[in-house]
Amino acid sequence: MSNSQGQNKQLLYNVNGLPQTLLLNPGANIDFDGHKGIPFFSGIHFAIGSSGVTAYDVFEDSPNINQRITNTMRRLTHKDYFTLHQQLEIFSLGWKWGRDKYISTGIYQEADAFSYFPKDPAILAREGNNDYIGVPFDFSHVSFTGEVLTVYHIGLNRKMDDRITVGARLKLYSGIFNVESVNNTGTFLTINTPDGPNYYRHFANDVDIRVNTSGFASLQDNNTTVQEATKDLIGRAFFGGNVGVGVDMGGTYKVRDNIVISGSVQDLGLMWQRDDVENYTYKGSYQTDGLEPLFPELGPDGKAIPYWDIFEDDIDRNLVDETLQESYVTWRPFKMNAAVEFIFGETFIPCDYRVETNRKHHSKLGVHLFGIKRPKDVKYALTTYYDRKFNSNFRMKVSYTLDDYSYTNVGLLLSTRFKSFNFYLAADNLIGYFNLAKSNYQSLQLGFQFILNK
């Protein structure tokens, strides 16, 4: 399953009847006066994906699974990746302030994991170096991030005039878990040396690998009870661990009555990882011709020379692994949105076409560009969509998303309202639901809430 855009919620972007659109663009146009989310149910989002491989590639109905795994690993590149994203709204509330301002606030829990495929280290671990003489294995292919955190936020949306709406959101992050390993360097190389002391010579050049973690070390303590660990995890969700701060900013501009452009940036923020931190490092350079003697000579004391122990000590002096407790800073995955909409299908509310302010439109055609910063590059997705409001109680949005790996991602959003009670359901890659094993990406979003209009 695949999609770098695990955090891309294109089906909710610019849906002016749902409060969740303010989490994507705090400067979005909205058409409600207040909202109250049902705790833990107002916003549920889950997405999983991987580029370049599906479950079917590995587990298809054929006898040789080892060969399928080998073929898949060889086909993937170090630019392929795996992603998992989950978000749960714990609390959500909003209200209109005066004639032109809207305040929205809430709490949500978020988990995000992203990893590039570590091709060279994976091939080395699975196949060894026998078939790769003279080919360097690059440790920079190891690059991954993961985090679980709680986000407390408050945002202001202001309609400046009939054409311009702007907004901003302040976020406070409370970290639960974090792991990252980025900017690693070094290579491992084996060459033929027929005239040397051994037939092969091995080089570990400028190896510098680091894995930072927070929130894990204390859980490895065998003296910690389940009750103590649970209490600790709950405390971290309420600023009892690592903290951070970030902002969202966005705006909407009506070029003409039927053309609207909008854009936003999300999670311009960072976290200070200082509590319950452990770092694992492996650094150095080394070259060896291996162990020559099969029948070691005797030393002066009459005992066999401990060639293997000497070899291990030599490696440990040159390739040093350490466990540290050093603070570090992590940046949130920065996201951006940009869209242009063409609006049509004019209606009149109430039924008086002579009143200009009562004119509204019920259909939109739009194009949406999404980007998210990952450790090595920015991942993009381009979406076209049709958004139709059939009446005040039912709305539908159909999307088609194009990215690096999927050409068939059709999504659907349904939103319905009974009086002030609202339910919405959104799913990406509908075709993939017919055969999940062959799907590169799936996501699902749903929510229950009360949306208020005066």
pLDDT at position 408:
86
Q: Which residue has the higher pLDDT, 395 or 59?
A: 395
Show the tokens assigned to 67. 């060969």
233: nearest Cα among 275, 262, 193: 275
pLDDT at position 289:
81
Average pLDDT over residues 382-400: 95
Determine the straight-line distance between the first and last CA of the chain, rounded to whole angstroms. 44
The span from the CA of 138 to the CA of 185, in Å, is 7
Determine what percent of the chain is predicted with pLDDT higher than 70: 91
Confidence of residue 61 (pLDDT cuts 50, 70, 90): confident
Q: Taking 90 as the threshold, does the pLDDT of residue 404 lie above it?
A: no
Q: Which residue has the higher pLDDT, 432 or 118?
A: 118
**Strand 185-192 relative to strand 259-273, pairing:** unpaired
The CATH number assigned to the domain with range 21-452 reads: 2.40.160
Q: Could you read off the pLDDT of 115-167 as tens digits, one per residue?
A: 999 999 999 999 999 899 999 999 999 999 999 999 999 999 999 999 999 99
The span from the CA of 244 to the CA of 246, in Å, is 7
Q: Which residue has the higher pLDDT, 125 or 218?
A: 125
Rg from Cα positions in the chain: 27
292: nearest Cα among 304, 303, 308: 308
pTM here? Answer: 0.90
Average pLDDT over residues 23-39: 97
412: nearest Cα among 4, 15, 1, 116: 15
Confidence of residue 356 (pLDDT cuts 50, 70, 90): very low
pLDDT at position 311:
79
Answer yes or no: are the C-beta atoms of 251 and 330 closer than 8 Å: no
Answer yes or no: are the C-beta atoms of 37 and 19 closer than 8 Å: yes
- The three-point CA angle 282-283-288 to 5° equals 105
pLDDT at position 228:
77
Mean pLDDT taken over the chain: 90
Confidence of residue 2 (pLDDT cuts 50, 70, 90): very low
pLDDT at position 292:
58
Q: Which residue has the higher pLDDT, 5 or 364?
A: 364
Average pLDDT over residues 31-50: 96
Confidence of residue 304 (pLDDT cuts 50, 70, 90): low
Average pLDDT over residues 191-209: 87
Domain boundaries, the chain: 21-452
The span from the CA of 52 to the CA of 3, in Å, is 10
The span from the CA of 70 to the CA of 61, in Å, is 16
Q: Which of 67-71, 129-133, 352-356, 367-371 has the highest mean pLDDT?
A: 367-371
pLDDT at position 326:
97
Q: Give the long-range contacts of residues 408-416, CB within 8 A, separation 24 or more.
A: 408/432, 409/3, 409/441, 411/10, 411/11, 412/11, 413/11, 413/12, 413/15, 415/15, 415/17, 415/18
CA 405: distance to chain centroid?
Answer: 16
Q: Could you read off the pLDDT of 69-110 as tens digits, one per residue?
A: 899 999 999 999 999 999 999 999 999 999 999 999 999 999
Confidence of residue 199 (pLDDT cuts 50, 70, 90): confident
pLDDT at position 209:
98
pLDDT at position 224:
73
Confidence of residue 3 (pLDDT cuts 50, 70, 90): very low
Q: Taking 80 as the threshold, does the pLDDT of residue 15 lie above it?
A: yes
Give the other-Cβ count within 10 Å of 120's Cβ.
20
Specify the amino acid at residue 2: S
Confidence of residue 353 (pLDDT cuts 50, 70, 90): very low
pLDDT at position 52:
84
Q: Which residue has the higher pLDDT, 303 or 311?
A: 311
pLDDT at position 355:
45
Q: Is the peptide bond before 194 cis (omega within 30 degrees of 0)?
A: no
Q: Taking 80 as the threshold, does the pLDDT of residue 360 lie above it?
A: no
**How far lies 219's CA from each of 222, 239, 394, in Å?**
8, 18, 48
Determine what percent of the chain is predicted with pLDDT higher than 90: 69
pLDDT at position 240:
78
Q: Which residue has the higher pLDDT, 224 or 163?
A: 163
pLDDT at position 4:
44
